[in-house]
Structure 1
Amino acid sequence: MKFTKMHGIGNDYVYVNCFEEQVENPAEMAVKVSRYHYGVGSDGLIMICPSEVADFEMKMYNADGSESEMCGNGTRCVGKYVYDRGLTDKTTVSLMTGAGLKILQLKVVNGKVAAVKVDMGAPELRPELIPVDLPGEAIMGHHLTVGSQTYEIHCVSMGNPHCIVFVKDPDQVDVEQVGKMLENHPIFPNRANIEFVQVVNRNHLRMRVWERGSGETLACGTGACASLVAAVLTGKADRQVTMDLLGGSLDLDWSFEDGHVYQEGPATFVFDGEWLGE
């Protein structure tokens, strides 16, 4: 199986061109290739597939083999792959995901995609559609006790479930311990991605993320978008911000005009390879 390793500000995946390759058991393959010491090493597997309703379709699996609806950083890398490898000459690309249709604006420099702006769609706040098993029209500022600590959580879906916790300094948080407990809390029937967010100022946020099925990663595009929504709704930030993550920065905009969240950032090629293992 031929593959390409790419990353979006450190959020790295193994990408397979399913116009040419066939992945028999993608959940099992995701686990194998994602292992850093025994496989390729990645946050998961993303397959670039034909689509009857869009230019391309993206299917993704986390490092633990669970299927995921959406990956913001992954969409940018798909945009770079399909343009740089000649699968399209468009600079506006439609991409079907498990979270619906996404539109990618490719920023081309010297014939290669350097950055991608993605329309991530409108955030979902209704608890039953995130999903989170709590009453109310939206979950903003709910106090949840986990272990001996109580956290103020804010829940948003960007096609996948997110739980945002605002903190003074993300570097002082035990992301693995707290993230794992919150991810698997019974109020999240499909588990959740957990974001720990610092408000630097109204146009500047910092974030660390514990991703459902992958653990702590260097970046999460959907998590960054969900965190912006929570910050705006709680009066902590304006609609346009720079989000700093461990792997780099994203420019985010929650548009007042159409209600959609837009994220823009780089997409980076790492290497091509061929998987010869079983």
Structure 2
Amino acid sequence: MDFTKIQGVGNDFIIINNTKIGLSESKQSNLAKRICKRKYSIGADGLIVIEHAKSNADFKMNFFNSDGSVAEMCGNGARCVARYAYENRIAWENMIIETMAGNISVWRIDKRTYKVKLNNPSFIDLENKIDIDNVEYDYSYIELGNPGIPHVIIRYKGLNNIGNIDNNCDILELARKIRQNIKFIKGSNVSFYDIIDSDNIVIRTYERGV
């Protein structure tokens, strides 16, 4: 099986062109679990599967997290698969990609830079509170696209000094507990942010299924 490994700002993916293979969705999910497992296989944050589009898009993108679960869409993944599609003559510089969250537009800026227009929010719920281990956190909840990709947004002061979220056990455990909270029936991506100054913010995201 031919595959391509590609990353966008450290978010790495395995891409396969299923128009040439014909794997069922269940087999795609099982494949993601097997080949995305780090130290045991290729290793990646997710598997992107290219399919023929059912709409007026150039192609369809199926996205699977490393645990085999399906995600509606991934922004970094969309940029990566757009580069793959352009370089393999599946699409041109301006392309439409079909996703579970709706069609998205992607533009090629240069050889290594692609811009994606994310779907508009389908649900916004600001100024909420959640209790984790008897500590109350303020959060906002947003879903992008339709059906929506769930995101929990929380301000975490001092985030700029933490570095990679994967190397900090405290914030990683907090993200997991938020994601698994009963408030979020289908789980949620969790993004922590902090304001550095009037022009800059820092953000760290813990994704579902990674």
TM-score (norm 1): 0.68
CA contact (8 A) 1:45 1:60 kept: yes
User: Where does residue 181 of structure 2 map in the other structure?
Assistant: 185
C-alpha deviation, 1:87, in angstroms: 2.0
CA offsets 1:182-235 (integer angstroms, 9 cap, x no match) = 001001010101111011123321111111111xxxxxxxxxxxxxxxxxxxxx
Name the SS of the counterpart of 1:38 in structure 2.
coil
CA contact (8 A) 1:2 1:21 kept: no
C-alpha deviation, 1:101, in angstroms: 0.4
User: How many residues were matched structurally?
Assistant: 197
CA contact (8 A) 1:175 1:210 kept: no
CA offsets 1:77-114 (integer angstroms, 9 cap, x no match) = 111001112223x2110000011000111113xxxx32
User: Where does residue 95 of structure 1 map in the other structure?
Assistant: 97
User: Where does residue 204 of structure 2 map in the other structure?
Assistant: 208
Matched, 1:68 2:71: yes
RMSD between aligned alpha carbons? 1.5
Aligned residue identity for 2:209: G
> Which structure 1 residue ranges, 4+ long, deviate > 6 Å from structure 2?
none
Question: Within 1, Cα distance between the matches of 2:208 and 2:173?
Answer: 13
Question: Within 2, Cα distance between the matches of 1:175 and 1:210?
Answer: 10
Identity %: 28
CA contact (8 A) 1:175 1:209 kept: no
CA contact (8 A) 2:58 2:90 kept: no
C-alpha deviation, 1:176, in angstroms: 1.6
User: Where does residue 163 of structure 1 map in the other structure?
Assistant: 152
User: Where does residue 79 of structure 1 map in the other structure?
Assistant: 82
Aligned residue identity for 2:143: S
Q: 1:142 aligns with which of 103, 110, 128?
A: 128
User: Where does residue 154 of structure 1 map in the other structure?
Assistant: 140
Name the SS of the counterpart of 2:123 in structure 1.
coil
Question: Within 2, Cα distance between the matches of 1:153 and 1:107?
Answer: 34
Question: Within 2, Cα distance between the matches of 1:2 and 1:22?
Answer: 13
CA contact (8 A) 1:16 1:46 kept: yes
Aligned residue identity for 1:11: N
User: Where does residue 124 of structure 1 map in the other structure?
Assistant: 122
User: Where does residue 6 of structure 1 map in the other structure?
Assistant: 6
Q: Which moved more, 1:116-125 or 1:35-44?
A: 116-125
C-alpha deviation, 1:179, in angstroms: 0.5
Question: Within 1, Cα distance between the matches of 2:50 and 2:156?
Answer: 37
Question: Within 1, Cα distance between the matches of 2:54 and 2:143?
Answer: 26
User: Where does residue 30 of structure 2 map in the other structure?
Assistant: 28
Name the SS of the counterpart of 2:3 in structure 1.
strand
Question: Within 2, Cα distance between the matches of 1:192 and 1:43?
Answer: 16
Matches for 1:253-268 after TM superposition, within 5 Å: none
Aligned residue identity for 1:163: V
Name the SS of the counterpart of 1:190 in structure 2.
coil
Aligned residue identity for 1:75: A
Question: Within 2, Cα distance between the matches of 1:63 and 1:114?
Answer: 24
Name the SS of the counterpart of 1:35 in structure 2.
coil
Question: Within 2, Cα distance between the matches of 1:55 and 1:203?
Answer: 36
CA offsets 1:15-53 (integer angstroms, 9 cap, x no match) = 001122233401111111111111111011110111132
TM-score (norm 2): 0.89
CA contact (8 A) 2:123 2:144 kept: no
C-alpha deviation, 1:121, in angstroms: 2.1
Name the SS of the counterpart of 1:125 in structure 2.
strand
